[in-house]
Chains A and B, each alone.
Chain A
Amino acid sequence: MFKKITVFFLILFFFSLQFSLAQELDGDQVLKKVEASRQSKSHQMKMKMELYSSSGEMRSRELNNYRLEGEIERSLMQFTEPADISGTSFLLLDDQANNQEDMYLYLPALGSVRKISGSQKNGNFAGSDLTYNDLSIFSGANFRDNYQAEIISETEKIIELHLKITDPDIDYSYGKMWVRKDLWLAEKIEYYDQQEELIKVITLSNFDKIDANRLARRIEVENVKRGSRTILKLVEVDFDPELDPGIFTTRYLQRQ
């Protein structure tokens, strides 16, 4: 009898050990779980962007974003408001297998499509506090392409990660990410410069789940040094729509 009880507890101990090991994720596995929040291979979004200067002045922009995954990642952004930038479109074609990225810009004033240099991604997107890399947080980022993560701390609800930058195109020194364990979504990201000073805080909120996709409907980006901030709001979203690959072409841009 005693032997049977011992075997039973040993088996119980073995399974509980397996269970607790499964719960102990490392940083990169946490990022993988965050990436898995987005299952769609394509989307179309309507977004509103509010730009606030340090003195509180506000300007707003509205844009449509289309994205299609495949051998080449395709992304198209079209500004619809305000009048002075309406019609401006930006096409990004990222062929990661061949390490080739091509960007095209359509400016209504020129009436033509222009190839633009890759360095255009260095600056901020459309005068906001967002970089092109920050934008990918909304689009369903492949975090592991850009970061290596280590767990700093963990509570019942939140995992805090230290992000080591592995993508040379990202100019931050390092970052920190707070991940919600109930949703496996980031709720806050901080970026630090080479002097280890905090430069940017990204706060995600209004979480939602559409089909198998979890997402934040509001992203606030605060530029700590400049005192400015940008709020990006998701107005409409459609996951896995039937997107014609033809819209991700210079021909389509030219037709605007």
Chain B
Amino acid sequence: MKNIIPKNKLNNLLSIAVLTLILSLILTFNLEAASSSGELSTMVIYEQELEQWQDQSRLELDLQQDLSSDLNYYLKGALTLESYYQQDQKERDFEFEVKEAYLNYYTDKIDWRLGRQNFSWGSSYNINPLNYFNPIDQGAVDPFQSRKAVDGIRAAYYPNFEWQLTGVITEHAEIDELQSAVQLIRRRWQGYDLAASVFSGNSLQSVPVGRNFYPEVNKIGFDFKGDFSSKNIGLFSEFVYSDYQNSRLKNTNELIIGLDYKFENNLYLLGQYYYQELAPVQSEANQLLILRAEKPFGYFHNWELNLISDLKKGMSVVRPEIIFSLNEGLDLETGAVIKLNQKRKSRLNQLNQELIYLSLSKYF
């Protein structure tokens, strides 16, 4: 079985090359000309199943500088201090992570991006089968909202406003394998944006027929987003067909279709259905229903409610969240992850921990 050795990120030549290049450029050019911003946050989490308290302090810094009219760089780093408290035990974890680091170079028709980056292919909300490159961050409070950046090169060719052709070569997030894809976008066609893509590489998530097994796969994907009816209701869809290069795995289809709408009273509603066939021969398809509502209240504050239901297993996860704006750039956020009708075999159960949290964030 191939691909069983997790890649050693320190040996990732591409990331070292890009970081070295960026650092040398920072030193060459005037650092004072760079624009910086960031977020300082502290969060307390109680994980109900583990009966464990966790506090997390994080400093996130963004640095951006134009080196010339057609060359710039972007750096995003995060310094995290985590402490875990369980009965009498206490653990501390300190981590610095370069979350994104890339160079942009613009020519007349092509925009290049080289380095650690995120891709946002796909029109649907959070769950994007069309994102072939960035795996979901299973350690995050909301795994579906956080994806890990990968090292790679992206070239986007713009012959005119309506068309965009993008080529991507990246390292796989977990193993030493190159991934490649091409995407063609047609914008403003009868009010819709359409995209088609092909991918050749390895599966983004490991397939549970062996440890750290990321099988080779070729994929074809389509997506669209636009409005229908005189009310301008948003309609979006993603479809991906995966052709696995392994006789023990069957080829799969994934489909998302969804609607979204914002009312005059600022209530925003989104609903999407996700059908996911799984590669192992015996496994059944997943069917998820995702509902999201959000609305401002008290002028500066906001509430959000996410519901994810596993229609096959009958389990749901509810994520209520309230964000209070205490002052300019100072937010107090509280929320929870609640499992309803918990089923051990449901993927939702494996991906989500029941918890409550409170966080304070200062943006600067």
Contact = CB atoms under 8 A, between A and B. Distances in A.
Interface of A: 51, 53-54, 57, 59-60, 82-84, 86, 93, 100-102, 110-112, 114-124, 127, 168, 171, 226, 228, 249-251, 254-255
Q: Output the residue of B37, B226, B232, B325 with the most chain A CB within 10 A.
A: B232
A251 B266 contact: no
Contacts of B106: 255
B187 A102 contact: yes
Given A84-B329, A117-B227, A59 B234 contact: no
A53 B331 contact: no
B344 interface: no
8 contacts: A82-B329, A83-B364, A84-B39, A110-B120, A111-B100, A122-B263, A226-B299, A228-B299
B188 A59 contact: no
A22 B234 CA distance: 48
A51 B120 CA distance: 32
Interface residues of B, number: 48
B363 A171 contact: no
B241 interface: no
Contacts of A51: 299-300
Contacts of B300: 51, 53, 57, 59, 127
Nearest to B118: A111
Given A83-B37, A110-B120, A112-B120, A118 B363 contact: no
Nearest to A113: B120
B227 A118 contact: yes
Contacts of A254: 111, 156
A39 B100 CA distance: 45
B322 to A, nearest CB: 16
Given A115-B123, A117-B262, A119-B234, A93 B188 contact: yes
Interface in B310-352: 325, 328-329, 331
B260 interface: yes
B296 A127 contact: yes
Nearest to B263: A122
Interface of B: 37-39, 100, 104, 106, 111, 117-120, 123, 156, 158, 161, 164, 187-188, 190-191, 193, 225-227, 230-235, 260-266, 268, 296, 298-300, 325, 328-329, 331, 363-364
B299 A82 contact: no
B304 to A, nearest CB: 14
Contacts of B262: 117, 119-120, 122-123
Contacts of A124: 266
Contact of B260 (A84, A117, A127, A228): A117
Q: Is the interface of A mostly helix, strand, loop or mixed?
A: mixed
A112 B118 CA distance: 9
A62 B329 CA distance: 14
Contacts of A116: 234
Given A59-B300, A83-B329, A84-B331, A115 B261 contact: no
Given A117-B233, A117-B262, A119-B232, A102 B120 contact: no
Q: Output the residue of B120, B188, B230, B231 with the most chain A CB within 10 A.
A: B188
Contacts of A84: 39, 329, 331, 363
Contacts of B158: 249, 251
Given A53-B300, A60-B328, A119-B232, A100 B261 contact: no
Contacts of B298: 53
A82 B104 contact: no
Contacts of B363: 82-84
A168 to B, nearest CB: 7
A127 B302 CA distance: 10
Given A53-B298, A93-B188, A102-B188, A123 B264 contact: yes
A193 B244 CA distance: 58
